[in-house]
Amino acid sequence: MKTNELIGTVVKTQRELYYVQTEDELITSKARGLFRKSDQSPLVGDKVLVTVSKEDKGGYITKILPRKNILKRPKVVNIDLAFLVFSIKHPNLNLYLLDKNLIINEYLKVETSIIFTKTDNSDIKEIENLKKMYEDIGYRVFLSSIFDDEGVKIIKREVKNRIVSFSGPSGVGKTSLISKILGKDLEIGEISNKTKRGKNTTRHTELFVTDNKGFILDTPGFSSINLDIDYDFKLDSLFREFKKYSGQCKYNDCLHLNEPDCKIKENIKNTIYQTRYDNYKMFLNEIKNNRRF
């Protein structure tokens, strides 16, 4: 490697400029013409090689290193961990939306954990039941409230030396949580009198650098998300608790709906939670309706 060639992470893009965070500095860079010829451009999260010009001190990205994954909304790459942030109250927890995000991340092969926020406003028994359910399924679950600095510290340790995305519905306290982790205030919209939710203020894709050498992606809040999964893909393989029964149904192509001797249906309320199975059926129907002939 050339002495003036550095490895860095693209933390923000703006038109034809790329902001690359190296070990020691943030370098404003441009991409070499070879990327335009190959129809590939650097994305936020890319690990790149950047050469610094001796004349103008500007950077030039010379190579994009191999990507481990790519998210579509927003379009970022190399996510090491995705936190799905959902409040239990205000707004109320939407298990359908949570499960949909979980299986999409399973499909994209992105490691995912769950953060339940506003736990100070929620019933302790409800919190314990939700935490147990998703831990039984195989996900790590973290709890957060505005009064729980210890919870923030635990979540911050997960960010160390990694690229971590935070996503969830509007108003769940995601940006407030990230502000605490970063130790600085990010812009938070005023509270809507009608919905009692904070208005979304995340308008562009950017990685925030933490003091423990991590990168945080704050994604725009959402109220719905498309289930962009191939029709021929086996949806049941994205449900972790279904996998233990793989190949045990009477029919190899069992959809776990009306078929006889279905191990999935036999274990509902045993090792498979009813809400998860109900959501599976709705997701399957959505994929069928989205099928392109």
Q: Nearest to residue 199, comparing CAs of 187, 209, 190, 212?
A: 190
249 labeled binding residue: yes
Does 138 belong to an annotated binding site?
A: no
117 is known to lie in a ligand binding site: yes
Question: Is 119 one of the annotated binding-site residues?
Answer: yes
- Picking from 74, 10, 65, 61, the residue whose alpha carbon sits closest to that of residue 32 is 61
Unique residue bearing structure tokens 């308008």: 203
Q: What dihedral do alpha carbons 209, 211, 213, 214 form, nearest 10°? A: -50
Among candidate residues 178, 163, 180, the one with its CA nearest the CA of residue 68: 163
Closest CA to 257 of 242, 243, 278, 232: 278
Is 254 among the annotated ligand-binding positions? yes
Q: Is 164 among the annotated ligand-binding positions?
A: no
Q: Is 58 annotated as contributing to ligand binding?
A: no
Return the beta strands (E) in 168-239 as ranges.
Answer: 207-209, 215-218
Q: How far is CA 106 from CA 109, 197, 202, 234, 239, in A?
A: 5, 29, 25, 12, 8
Is 172 a known ligand-binding residue? yes
Q: Give the type of residue at 230.
A: D
Q: Which of 158, 211, 151 is nearest to 176 (CA)?
A: 151
Q: Residue 169, annotated ligand binder?
A: yes
Residue 170 assigned as binding residue: yes
Residues 51 and 26: beta-carbon distance below 8 Å: no
CA pair distance 156, 39, nearest whole angstrom? 36
Report whether 167 belongs to an annotated binding site. Answer: no
Look-up: residue for tokens 């990230």? 178
The reply to whether 185 sits in an annotated binding site is no
Is 220 annotated in a binding site? The answer is: no
Pick out the residues of the known binding site for GTP. Answer: 117-120, 168-176
Pick out the residues of the known binding site for Zn(2+). Answer: 249, 254, 256, 262
Pick out the residues of the known binding site. Answer: 117-120, 168-176, 249, 254, 256, 262
